Amino acid sequence: MARRGLVAGPDFEYFRRRYFTPTEVAQHNRPEDLWVSYLGCVYNLTPLAQEYKGNLLLKPIVEVAGQDISHWFDPKTRDIRKHIDPLTGCLRYRTPRGRFVHVPPQLPRSDWANDFGKPWWKGSQYEVGRLSAKTRNIRIINTLTSQEHILENQEHPRVLEILH
């Protein structure tokens, strides 16, 4: 039996996350566990990192693992920001950290293939949830043992999300 926010399993139901805090995203900051957030969504780019392992075009993405990269994107088009190249006068992707996976080269090249389908930032296959814009700390005190824990949670959590 599946309810909203729950996914039915063989013997039990488990909670499927919808929102992540910036702190939770920041914990996924390695090539073997690579998450980023941009424009309010959280993306697990670990499969992309595994596919392009050892490729220099992955370096700018690995450098920002666990961070918000909204400044890379135009909020209206949801595409990488563009600028006019001063040398060629052509409209190009703006990549201050250097060209990365699925971004075409500045000039035509015979060794660049665009047969990968949609670029990783245009598809939804890597999306795992939404980024909580506002978070709050919840202090939990065990009055029996005097242990104290602080949980960072989204602004309007559902009870199941707090329990998880």
User: Can you read off the two tokens belonging to residue 9?
Assistant: 């399993």
Which residue type, as a one-letter code, is found at position 1? M
Round to whole Å and give the CA distance between 43 and 77: 18
Round to whole Å and give the CA distance between 36 and 42: 6
Round to whole Å and give the CA distance between 87 and 161: 52
Which residue type, as a one-letter code, is found at position 133? A
Round to whole Å and give the CA distance between 66 and 48: 15
pLDDT tens series, the chain, 164 aa: 444 444 444 433 344 568 888 888 999 999 999 999 999 999 999 999 999 999 999 999 999 999 999 999 999 999 999 999 888 888 999 999 999 999 988 878 888 888 888 999 998 899 999 988 777 777 888 888 889 887 766 655 555 555 65
Going by DSSP bridges, is the β-strand pair 135-142/19-20 parallel, antiparallel, or unpaired?
unpaired
pTM over 0.85: no
